[in-house]
Amino acid sequence: MRIISGDAKGRALVAPKGSDTRPTSDKLRGALFNIIGTRVWDASVLDVFGGTGALALEAISRGAQFAAIVDSSYTAMRAIRRNVEAVAGADTKRVICIQKDYQAALPHLADRNFDIVFLDPPYHMQNAYAIACALLRQYGCLSDDAIVIMEYAQEMDIAIPEGFESYDERRYGAARVRFLREIR
């Protein structure tokens, strides 16, 4: 696994050992960033279920101004912090890491106004998409034109969270990706 484009192109990323973390593949990550294109430039990015931090760090490499990475796992957070060092180097103020459950972490990000939010929880946490979206709205974490990108297993039937609309959906191998925006 590596950063595919931008300032940190080619930098290797580490993943925690074991099967608890399911990193987004380089191919899928590349496709996602091709879709969102220049929206990432100067954006504030939130990776709610960080795992390795690859999605947020890809955004930083491609010109995002700030990223927050949340994960409850100590092992995952160790890998994320190593990856932040590898990608951001001395400029680590552009990335914050929060080792908490997402429901406890999101209140700490109140009124941050994120432009891009990645939601890729462990697949057994099907309710996490709706809960996370509700909390993002409750705590004012979304900019006016924010996009929320949900990644989930092909066979899962994830409902569009209340207060959001889907404007695009793609399939990549065993994964599905849905792009949402808040209904205002």
In-domain check, residue 176:
yes
Would you state the pLDDT for residue 46?
A: 98
For 95, 99, 143, the CA distances from 123, given in Å and listed in that order, are 26, 20, 27
In-domain check, residue 21:
no
In-domain check, residue 93:
yes
Please count the other Cβ atoms lying within 10 Å of the Cβ belonging to residue 138.
Answer: 11
In-domain check, residue 4:
no
Would you state the pLDDT for residue 19?
A: 53
List beta partners, residue 166: 180
| Number of structural domains found in the chain | 1
Q: 3-state DSSP helix/strand/coil percent for the chain, to nearest 5?
A: 35, 25, 40
Please count the other Cβ atoms lying within 10 Å of the Cβ belonging to residue 40.
Answer: 22
Would you state the pLDDT for residue 63?
A: 95
In-domain check, residue 5:
no
Q: Beta strand pairing status for 175-182 and 164-172? A: antiparallel
In-domain check, residue 42:
yes
DSSP 156: -
In-domain check, residue 79:
yes
SS3 152: strand
Q: What is the mean pLDDT of each run of 10 residues along the chain (184 residues)?
A: 90 78 74 93 97 95 96 94 88 89 96 94 90 96 96 90 95 92 92
Would you state the pLDDT for residue 14?
A: 92
CATH of the domain at 46: 3.40.50.150
Cα-Cα end-to-end distance for the chain: 37
In-domain check, residue 6:
no
Domain limits at 100?
26-182
pTM of this prediction?
0.94
Would you state the pLDDT for residue 16?
A: 80
